[in-house]
Amino acid sequence: MSLASHYATSRCAISFELFPPKTEAGLASLCESVRRLTQFQPSFFTCTYGAGGSTQGTTLDVLRKVREITNLPVASHLTCVNATVPQLESYLQAAMAQGTDYIVALRGDPPKGSDRFEAVEGGLRYANELVELIRSKFPDFGIAVAGYPEVHQEAPDAKTDLDNLKRKVDAGADVVITQLFYQNDDFYRFRDSCAAAGIRVPVVPGILPVTNFKQALRIASMCKASIPDALRVAMTQSDDPHDQFKVGVDHARRQTIDLKNNDVPGIHYYVLNKSEAAEALLDGLQMVG
């Protein structure tokens, strides 16, 4: 099944993002979360990898496990960080041989200790170049790319950021999946801007159900996502972990309902290898039609 076809029906397609665990216990916990999340009939799962490609092998192991558990399509993240073109091609070949269906093609964040991205000799500088490589050498992969409702933190302005996204789509991306956001109006403005720029592929919102205020602050600082005043106030009214969990889940549930009511083609959930928050926010929601 092609990546774009998941978003071509009346169903609001759901996908979940995982990351490679560091221990056998972590892998067992991830597998149990995947089993629990399948009750919501996701279209596919994605898996990231560590900075600079440090866990690429583990990423493919995770995706193999997910396929064994769910028999669903899987997508591997791939970045340009610390990788030559032959290294990228080697990973793509391994991913294809293992049955990976899609690639989430990213430039990647600067390596730890650096404040700017530098391509290695023989590597790629931009995500659109990675999309071009995949489309030309591995055309059977579906390709997703990242979009930024609140503008990429390295972009000088929204127009430049949107121009960069258009280049990725024009290079052959099938779907845009956005960075997380906490205010749906930010996504709707971004979606309108994409349409005005001639971006015709599905634009899929990314949602992270925060479960405590420290987590919300940390993640917001990393990706420059603004936290609405109402959510900030609600999460600081109690130090009880259960109260903060409920506030974060309720907020993500309201986001989900509003997004579906505004005809998004799907929603991508960043679940941090845990199922509890996603289960709670999706419980009882009808995501079809």
Q: Mean pLDDT, the chain, as a whole number? A: 91
SS3 165: helix
pTM above 0.85, yes or no: yes
Mean pLDDT of 215-220: 84
- Which two tokens mark 49? 């990898």
Q: Domain limits of the chain?
A: 4-282
CA-CA distance, 287 to 289, in Å (whole number)? 7
pLDDT tens figures, 17-51 = 999 998 999 999 999 999 999 999 999 999 997 65
Alpha-carbon gap, residue 178 to 267, rounded angstroms: 9
Contact between 45 and 16 under an 8 Å Cβ cutoff? The reply is yes
pLDDT at 56: 60
Whether the pLDDT of residue 7 is over 50: the answer is: yes
Give me the mean pLDDT over the 167-189 stretch. Answer: 97
Predicted confidence band at 111 (pLDDT cuts at 50, 70, 90)?
Answer: low
Kindly report, residue by residue over 59-77, the tens digit of the pLDDT: 999 999 999 999 999 999 9
pLDDT of 288 above 60 = no
**Residues recognised as catalytic:** 17
Q: Over the stretch 246-267, which tens digit does the pLDDT of each residue have? A: 999 999 999 999 999 999 999 9
Question: Residue 193: is its pLDDT beyond 50?
Answer: yes
- CA–CA distance, 223 with 221 (Å, rounded to integer): 6
User: What confidence tens digit (pLDDT) does each residue in 115-168 have?
Assistant: 666 777 888 989 999 999 999 999 999 999 999 999 888 888 999 999 999 999
4-282: what fold? TIM Barrel (3.20.20)
Q: How many CA atoms lie within 13 A of 79 on its CB side?
A: 23
What percent of the chain shows pLDDT beyond 70? 93
Give the pLDDT of residue 152. 86
pLDDT at 52: 53
